[in-house]
Structure 1
Amino acid sequence: MIKESLKWLIIFFVCFFNCGIQAADCDVFPQSNIWNKEITNVPVHKQSATWLNAIGKGVKVHPDFGSNNFKDKAAGISVNYTNNNTPKHSVLFKYKAESDLVKYPIPEQVKIEGGASSKGDRHIISFDTDQCILYELFNVYKRESGQWTAGSGAVFDLNSNNLRPNKWTSADAAGLPIFPGLVRHKEVESGVINHALRFTARTTNRAYLWPARHFASRHNNPNLPPMGMRLRLKPDIDISNFSPQAKVIAIALKTYGMILADNGGPLFISGEPNEEWSHWGLKDLKKLVSNNFEVVDTDFLQIHPDSGTTDPDEAYKKERIITNTDNKKYKNKAKYYTQFYVSNYGHDSYDGTNQRPWKTLQHASNLAEPGDTINVEKGNYRPFTISKSGTKDLPITFSADNAKIDGFEGSSRDGIEIKNANHITIKGFEVHHANRAGISAVTCSDITIEWNKLVKNNMWGIFTGFCSNLTINNNIATKSVKQHGIYVSNTSDNISVHDNITHSNNAAGIQLNGDKNMGGIGLITNARVYNNLIYHNGKAGGSALNMDGVQYSKVYNNILYDNYATGIAVFKDTGGDGSKYNEIVHNTIVMPKDGRWCALFKVNSSYNVFKNNVCVSRHNYRGAVSIDDSSLIGFESDYNAYTPTFTLNGGESTMSLQEWRLISNNDKHSKPVTNINNLFDYLLKDFTPFKDSLLNEKGIYMNEYPSDYIHKKRTNPPSIGAIH
């Protein structure tokens, strides 16, 4: 009886903080907004027949929403009703320049479109009922670390008519909000829907009509429907025999119509999932076909191009609740525009505009000038080389939307090769099966490689050499056939490698190697390697994180688990000197039964700091630290959590934590670990310390490391390891 009461108490509190939150006190945009405008008397658009023919004659309306009890799957886009108590999270965006960079309210039991394992658009809609603000995210995932990532994100003040900046996407292809166009069960039950609906079409044009702000098509064809197109169900269509639910929706289609907002199923109308939907009743909507609709011309309702108002007495105020400080616009006075496009449907004889895109990346690279952005549409492309530089204020950017570089095409050694070029950004590509590296940059400076996916390349996912002022972030580098996931080599300075995932590479996950044999002083200096997830690497040898000839650098907030060789190796091999004067702090390293040591220091790798790290192993005799006499000089370690086994001779003999303390005069406050499972939920690869864990708030606070792997602020004292 007690257990049963407890169960219902838990359900009550969950619903109190989530289920019970509703949007009753928030209007969804002012009454003057185009979403809320009746269109019964709006004239038919001159392109009506053409655009409807492009959708297809006789295409049936499809209600893309339904009941949780239908085929064990809830169709539709769920809404999370949130409030001031809902936790907010930072989100890493693929399309950062067109996203609102704020923290997004995401409940603990968040509803994601299609469910947690969905392969679809994976929208999260959060309706803040306290502030009347709408937060929408596209293609959302939660990393193992707890960090949220998304393709794009948009925030809408529901008391304002302001649109997003022109040419900006949102969580929807058209740059519009999703929630206002959803069919919502509560409205249908009330008997009336007072707004336009959202729908999709199979193929669209590279154009958009007000109030849309963005297109999502490779087709430059005016006979195809544009984003923002508004359909109206013809007034003479008989709906008298429709079911009650279908009739309410059909009346709304006659009164308010529906707005084309994304690519998808033809005439698919969006709505919320709800257990009370009658699937047999909603089937009546399928009696409506494309021929029953007409495109209406709402252009005359526009008061200002940047506002959704239809009220001529309403002045436009250029205000946004979001300030995107990262959205920099560059102007090249030598040309009329700096945004260029590449598409499989283009041609290199064209001018590279969005209406007339180029076909090959090499052609675009040859013509690129400082300040240009090359936008690459979805498709498969041949490898290409970049040998022209941008400038500090006017970089050259290659930005892809699910574009793939196939290394099998042609004879190039790398998928994307940057040679003797500076101020270049590469983002959003997938590169696979390159003969050497997926992406390379040699003899360069000010290079950013971000948000790419490198898979099954022959040698390396990412390779750089003699490349300073380098940033490698938010990439996935996996299954390199012969060597490393990410390889930074040769004399280089000011390196940042962060928020990457490297796994299942034959050798190292991340390798930094000064390599004096290739020239220069053979040192990598001022590197920052942080917030990386590194696992299942090193079957052929090579540490998960390898540092050869690395000095004055910081390695922190990394998670390394189940790698086959050493966890973090700090040494001298081909580097110009030992790896010295580095800080290695707040990392979590878990070694498997067949792995090597958690951390290795050898060959004149002295004066290193090693603090606040988790170093634990499942091996039967290898443990925390292997260090030689030359590297003990100036070595400073404390506040670590160790599998209490150490060696000074590569494992020929080992010592306990107590013996290690006496010999090294270190680790006075470090903790011995006898059971890894008492630290965190290792089975689920959740490395957040348990509240009663010996890691929890047992470290020493270091001012340079105020945030953890999931960007959470550390307290004083902090927890040991990558996650606070």
Structure 2
Amino acid sequence: MKKFGKILLIGLSLGLGLAIGNVQTPAASAAGTEYYVATSGSDSNAGTSDAPWKTLQHAADTVPPGSKVYVRGGVYKEKLKITRSGSASQGPTVFASYGTETAIVDGTGLSVSGNEGLIELADVDYVTIQGFEIRNFITASKNAVPTGIYVHGAGGFINLSDNKIHDIKNTATPTGKDRLGRDAHGIAVYGTKAPASIHNLTINGNELYNLVLGSSESLVLNGNVNGFAVTSNLIHDNDNIGIDLIGFEGTAPNTAYDQVRNGVVKGNRVYNNSVRNNPSYKSDDNSAGGIYVDGGKDNIIEQNYSYNNDIGVEIASEHAGKTTSNITVRSNVIYNNRLTGIAMGGYDDERGSTVNSKIVNNTLYKNDTLDDGSGQLLVQHDTRNNVIKNNIFVASSTDVLIYNGYTQNSGNVVDYNLYFLPGGSSGANWTWKDKKYTGFPTYKSGTGNDAHSLFADPKFVNATNGDFRLQSSSPAFDSGSTDNAIIGTEDIDGEPRVKGKAVNIGADE
């Protein structure tokens, strides 16, 4: 939920770096060979372990497809732009820290020109970036966008794994009514061509933290990205959105392709991401989602932990007349987020819609810590034909479980959930189509929702310490709707989703 527009990377220079790419030099030998870079090396060397090169850029401009470039530990104060691909037959070209050593790509003192990555991949296939620390790419220039790893154009079979990315910052003073011009990213993937997409993309096991993002995101996929896995990343302590899947921003030149789609966001831990101290936002704004789908379609968000953010998970569309569709949010644990646990629909009636999506088997616990009244589930403008089943909702001190303030929302199915407020059902509140209901029986009879749902203590093992497994006596056991088309095959811990006579309610089976 960003009430100020995200940076639009329209008109990117898709040929960035091509002047130095696509020409193999005589120094490179057969594909599959190992090459080495070390701070003590020389680019006039052979690139072997005994005679390493000195710069990452020389290696990128030299090695043939399928090579493995091992970078010895140390600090490399340079930018790396990769414009030459690996191949299906010879394998990916790999850039990786050597063994247990850590190669640090450090942007201290380097300029930021436009939209630029400290490590940048432009129109490439079969490239892996693994095991680097990427840091200190900082600018105070308005409209410059420093990025830790920046992938753009089209291409596939790209793997960004096990990198630590931090202190990527834009510290410019935002100006104008919308406070724009201050943007940065930890990892950004922009599919800027059509019909050719960025596809077969893996972003796994990275840590992103201490990022100063302005009106942008920690890890973002935007535009024509078709087929991806964002898995097992740790994203924390940043001043805006954690993970964002975006459509309809004009990133791809053809609107038919301008949506992030057919991917999974799985097993990530996202926490302490907030715009509270971000000068690109008003002081009372709380719109940074831990995980956000803004205009994407056909994506699965599962087995993630999202906590202490402004919003746990949001599936919405910021663009009027545009739809976020067929998003499945399942088996996630979402707790202690400031505004709400899950938000769906446009944040006002000038935005787009959320349709045909599923929110199933999630555990939402004491979100709405601001006491704003947005509850555990915030149903916003233009939500249609969505399914909300098998979720545990435990209210915060506001006593609000679901807040739906729009009368025109329609076709949403809400059932087989478990609700709880420590003070009891009589004090619990739901708002549905802008009408407030107090008490569980009153809410059910007044809305027709939740005919098979429960109001009971879910009996977590230790919620105070973040353990949301169910005790053996929990009423959530075997109380859900076993709809194999939407519940998936695994719970939050990767265990089989159905063990007993029916599925459990909540993230834990």
1:366, CA displacement in angstroms? 0.8
Normalised to the residue count of structure 1, the TM-score between the two structures is: 0.50
1:626, CA displacement in angstroms? 1.8
User: Is the 8 Å Cα contact of residues 335 and 341 (structure 2) preserved in structure 1?
Assistant: no
- Determine which of 645, 648, 667 is the counterpart of 2:404: 648
Q: What amino acid sits opposite 1:492 in the alignment? A: V
1:560 matched residue in structure 2: 306
Deviations 1:8-59 (A, max 9, x none): xxxxxxxxxxxxxxxxxxxxxxxxxxxxxxxxxxxxxxxxxxxxxxxxxxxx
Distance 1:377 1:641, change over 3 A: same
Q: What amino acid sits opposite 2:236 in the alignment? A: H
Deviations 1:380-419 (A, max 9, x none): 1122111111112321111114111112142254221111
- Structure 2, gaps ≥5 residues long: 1-27, 139-145, 170-183, 192-197, 277-286, 347-351, 407-430
User: Is the 8 Å Cα contact of residues 30 and 64 (structure 2) preserved in structure 1?
Assistant: no
- Determine which of 470, 488, 493 is the counterpart of 1:705: 488
- Structure 1, gaps ≥5 residues long: 1-332
Distance 1:576 1:469, change over 3 A: farther
Distance (Å, rounded) in 1 between the aligned partners of 2:504 and 2:386: 22
Distance (Å, rounded) in 1 between the aligned partners of 2:404 and 2:92: 49
User: Is the 8 Å Cα contact of residues 344 and 354 (structure 2) preserved in structure 1?
Assistant: no
Distance 1:362 1:431, change over 3 A: same
1:468 matched residue in structure 2: 199
- Determine which of 342, 345, 349 is the counterpart of 1:598: 342
Distance 1:710 1:538, change over 3 A: same
1:437 matched residue in structure 2: 147
Distance 1:386 1:639, change over 3 A: same
User: Is the 8 Å Cα contact of residues 390 and 506 (structure 2) preserved in structure 1?
Assistant: no
Map 1:416-565 onto structure 2 (within 5 A). Answer: 416-435=119-138, 436-446=146-156, 447-458=158-169, 459-466=184-191, 467-482=198-213, 483-518=216-251, 519-521=253-255, 522-540=258-276, 541-563=287-309, 565=310
Task: Give the superposed CA RMSD.
Answer: 2.7
Distance 1:513 1:618, change over 3 A: closer
Distance (Å, rounded) in 2 between the aligned partners of 1:336 and 1:626: 53
Deviations 1:213-259 (A, max 9, x none): xxxxxxxxxxxxxxxxxxxxxxxxxxxxxxxxxxxxxxxxxxxxxxx
Map 1:268-417 onto structure 2 (within 5 A). Answer: 335=30, 338-381=33-76, 382-393=78-89, 394-400=91-97, 401-412=101-112, 413-417=116-120
2:317 matched residue in structure 1: 572
Distance 1:665 1:384, change over 3 A: farther
1:707, CA displacement in angstroms? 2.7
Matched, 1:623 2:375: yes
User: Is the 8 Å Cα contact of residues 639 and 667 (structure 1) preserved in structure 2?
Assistant: no
Distance (Å, rounded) in 2 between the aligned partners of 1:552 and 1:613: 19
Distance (Å, rounded) in 2 between the aligned partners of 1:349 and 1:509: 42
Matched residue of 1:456: which SS? strand
Distance 1:665 1:638, change over 3 A: farther
Distance (Å, rounded) in 2 between the aligned partners of 1:546 and 1:431: 24
Distance (Å, rounded) in 1 between the aligned partners of 2:200 and 2:442: 43
2:10 matched residue in structure 1: none
- Determine which of 494, 497, 505 is the counterpart of 1:714: 497
1:693, CA displacement in angstroms? 3.4
Normalised to the residue count of structure 2, the TM-score between the two structures is: 0.70
1:681, CA displacement in angstroms? 2.0
Map 1:620-699 onto structure 2 (within 5 A). Answer: 620=371, 621-628=373-380, 630-631=382-383, 633-642=384-393, 643=395, 645-649=401-405, 654-655=436-437, 661=444, 666-672=449-455, 678-699=459-480
Matched residue of 2:186: which SS? strand
Matched residue of 1:573: which SS? coil
Distance 1:430 1:335, change over 3 A: same
Q: What amino acid sits opposite 1:679 in the alignment? A: F
Distance (Å, rounded) in 2 between the aligned partners of 1:347 and 1:575: 55
The structure where strand makes up a greater share of residues is 2
User: Is the 8 Å Cα contact of residues 460 and 467 (structure 2) preserved in structure 1?
Assistant: no
- Which 4+ residue blocks in structure 1 deviate beyond 6 angstroms? 650-653
1:443, CA displacement in angstroms? 1.1
Distance (Å, rounded) in 1 between the aligned partners of 2:38 and 2:361: 49
2:409 matched residue in structure 1: none
Q: What amino acid sits opposite 1:635 in the alignment? A: N
1:520, CA displacement in angstroms? 2.9
User: Is the 8 Å Cα contact of residues 689 and 719 (structure 1) preserved in structure 2?
Assistant: no
Distance (Å, rounded) in 2 between the aligned partners of 1:431 and 1:655: 51
Alignment length (residue pairs) = 387
Distance (Å, rounded) in 1 between the aligned partners of 2:441 and 2:120: 51
Distance 1:582 1:430, change over 3 A: same
Distance 1:601 1:357, change over 3 A: same
- Aligned residues: percent identity? 24
Q: Which has the larger radius of gyration?
A: 1
Q: What amino acid sits opposite 2:218 in the alignment? A: G
1:429, CA displacement in angstroms? 0.8
User: Is the 8 Å Cα contact of residues 383 and 409 (structure 1) preserved in structure 2?
Assistant: no
Matched residue of 2:470: which SS? coil
Distance (Å, rounded) in 2 between the aligned partners of 1:385 and 1:425: 13
